[in-house]
Amino acid sequence: MLMGKTFTIPERMRMFFKQYLKEMEQLGVNSIGIVLLISFFIGAVITIQIKTNIESAWMPRWTVGYVTREIMLLEFSSSIMCLILAGKVGSNIASELGTMRVTQQIDALEIMGVNSANYLILPKIMAMLTMIPILVIFSIFSGIIGAFCTCWFGGILNAVDLEYGIQYEFKEWFVWSGIIKSFFFAFIISSVSSFFGYTVEGGSIEVGKASTDAVVCCSVLILFSDLILSKILA
């Protein structure tokens, strides 16, 4: 029912785009920093772990780069990054809408004759669908830069070997697969968190509970859909 109310044509396109841009900044642009930071370190750590743990005379030197790339492309930058974003963005959405509900701001919208679900939730969903794939691409690049930094500054392995491994049997589909998955995850994060926030009843304790429930539910749904999507997109 809530989704039915949400997915209607906005009453004022001007107001919708205003909200859409605001949400892109709040939910997407403001998450770039944490995405770059986490991806950089994870890329570096994966490189170090692969190098130190599976090094063998039988193993080609490019293996580290190859495995780092596959992990970043297939799982970390799409699924794990979205799990992290479910914590940051999901709790943000649920607590914002929950607070608006308990302080009667949503009632105020309804009394004015505004479709509050459409005005508040649709821009969030659209903004997430726009920004999350961009964040996934940022994450991939940041992770690979992190991996190179272990070569340049840590001397873990030769940067040429890493570069060769990263380029070895590169399949463009893996990038698309990550982006396709991220669309599903973006929808899960924005819609599930919005549902928990929008339907809060009570006070600040309930808002906090809704925020926690939203993150837990988003995380479980992301993991479950990751399982299905990985099978379908493989």
Partner 1 sequence: MIEIRNIEKQFEGKTILSNINATFANGMTNLIIGQSGSGKTVLMKCIVGLLVPDHGEILYDGRNFVHMGKKEKKQIQKEVGMIFQSAALFDSMSVLENVMFPLDMFSNDTQHKRIDRAMFCLDRVNLKGAENKFPGEISGGMQKRVAIARAIALNPRYLFCDEPNSGLDPKTSLVIDNLIHGITKEYSMTTIINTHDMNSVMGIGEKVIFIQEGKKEWEGTKDCIFTSQNKKLSDFIFASDLLQKVKKMEINNMKD
Q: Which residues bind partner 1 (CB under 8 A)?
A: 11-12, 14-15, 22, 99-100, 103-105, 107-108, 110-114
Nearest approach, Cβ of residue 113 and partner 1 (Å): 4
CB closer to partner 1, 122 vs 136:
122
Alpha helix ranges (H) inside the chain: 2-6, 13-23, 32-53, 63-71, 81-85, 91-102, 105-112, 116-152, 159-167, 172-198, 204-233
d(CA 88, CA 31): 8
- Sequence-separated (6 or more) residues with CB below 8 Å from residue 165: 61, 62, 63, 64, 65, 66, 67, 68, 69
CB closer to partner 1, 91 vs 182:
91
CB closer to partner 1, 114 vs 179:
114
Nearest approach, Cβ of residue 221 and partner 1 (Å): 28
Nearest approach, Cβ of residue 157 and partner 1 (Å): 49
Nearest approach, Cβ of residue 121 and partner 1 (Å): 15
Q: What's the one-letter identity of residue 171?
A: K
For tokens 């959405």, the residue is: 93
CB closer to partner 1, 146 vs 197:
197
